[in-house]
Amino acid sequence: MDAFMDYYFEKVFSDLDRDSLNERYKRRELVEYFNSVISGCAKGQNESDNVTCKNFVTSALRYHNNCKSKNGDVCLMGKYHNLLYIAMKLSFDWSLQDNGVVAALLDELYACERTFERIFLGAIFGTSAPYFLAGWKSDFMDREENVSALVFFLDHATNANLEFKEGNKSYRFIDVPLESCGKASPVRVVIQMGAAEILMILLRFGARITSDHVSTNPIESILDRLKEYNRKYPYELVTCLKLALRAVPRLHLTVDKTAFKHLELPDDYNYDRKIALEKYTEILEDHLLPCSRCGLKPVELKHLCRCLIRQMLWKNFELPFGIHKLPIPMPLKKYLDLLDD
């Protein structure tokens, strides 16, 4: 396999036009070609498909890195960068199980692009929308395959304990901002879309629901949108709210303390309670926002325990599969995994 790939890159790939792989159908043709090569080499060399796929991805990474090194450690883009997406698709097609190789592929993608939107956007928006957002089309066939690919790479990134640096910040794979979405986190974009199915996947893998440079807490944005529906709440949006509330100990609302300065309130005053009562009265009355999650009542001990255990599992890169290693009854495992409330 290595000899074939060296020959291919030297004699065939080098003669391709720089922009020859910009079109999705061209990348898919090359993927189909290499699928046949991997299958044939595996049979001819009496090796497993997984080992042969690993050898291809390793060769592709080596070629990309060599080209980048000759260009002062700057990616040449064009066909040289698109080669990484062919490796990405083949890794998924053959269910490559080598964490080290998949992690190296993700590291290389991030080094070139500083984002993983080519993996996330297809799962969030479908196969066509990324073209209008970012000018490219998903390399995966349909929405279902995009979601499966997202889970595949989430699993590998978690098992490989991957973290990515951006200035002074460090991100897990699941939280790396999406460039084409105003650098919002994937979980924020999913909440804005009201995509409950994808939100469940992200939360189970430990996506962080926090305020960032984009705007306020994502849960607060759900509440603000629900107010617009005059108590005829969309099912998907309500589901997103319920799922998000399972993943945080309690809701912290945006408070402009200067607006209450004239009241001379104590430093430990419960602003969340006041804002919730004034701003989300109808949502509270309709029992969509539990009183225990917004400062009106103490948070349930069971829920606090869930959040603490999940935080410890997250620190050790054990979400969500580490839950099933715990010596606890199955109902509690489902509770910790956000499947029940």
In the chain, how many domains are there? 3
d(CA 199, CA 59): 35
Dist CA 101 CA 97 (whole Å) = 9
Residue 185 lies in a domain: yes
Find out whether 185 and 175 touch, Cβ atoms under 8 Å.
yes
Same domain as 229, residue 186: no
Residues with Cβ within 8 Å of 84's Cβ and at least 6 positions away in sequence, in order, are 60, 61, 64, 105, 108, 109, 112
Residue 12 CB burial class (10 angstroms; 0-12, 13-18, ≥19): exposed
Residue 258: how many CB atoms within 10 A of its CB? 7
Q: What pLDDT tens digit does each residue of the chain (341 aa) get?
A: 678 888 899 889 999 999 999 999 999 999 999 999 999 988 888 889 999 999 999 999 999 999 999 999 999 999 999 999 999 999 999 999 999 999 999 999 999 999 999 999 989 988 776 666 667 788 999 989 999 999 999 999 999 999 999 888 999 999 999 988 888 999 999 998 899 999 999 999 999 987 555 456 889 889 999 999 989 999 999 999 999 999 999 988 876 666 666 666 676 666 677 788 888 999 999 999 999 998 889 999 999 999 999 999 999 999 999 999 999 999 999 999 999 98
Same domain, yes or no: 329 and 271: yes
End-of-domain residue from the set 89, 113, 137: 113
Residue at 206 is within a domain: no
- What pLDDT, in 10s, does the model give residues 145-184? 999 999 999 999 999 999 999 888 999 999 999 988 888 9
Chain centroid to Cα 131, Å, comes to 19
Same-domain check for residues 323 and 239: yes
- Say yes or no: 173 and 79 in one domain: no
* Amino acid letter, 161: N
Q: CB count, 10 Å around CB of 329?
A: 9
Residue 198: inside a domain? no
Assess whether 179 and 280 both reside in one domain: no
Encode burial over 54-72: b for 16+ CB neighbours within 10 A, e otherwise.
Answer: bbbbbbbbebbeebbeeee
Q: Is residue 212 part of a domain?
A: no
H helix runs in 270-329, sequence order:
271-279, 281-285, 301-315
- Chain segment 306-333, per-residue pLDDT in tens: 999 999 999 999 999 999 999 999 999 9
Task: Report pTM.
Answer: 0.91
Domain span including residue 159: 115-191
Q: Do 280 and 220 meet the contact criterion of CB atoms below 8 Å apart?
A: no
Compute how many other C-beta atoms are within 10 angstroms of the C-beta atom of residue 174.
Answer: 24
Return the half-sphere exposure (C-beta side, CA atoms, 13 A cut-off) of residue 298: 4
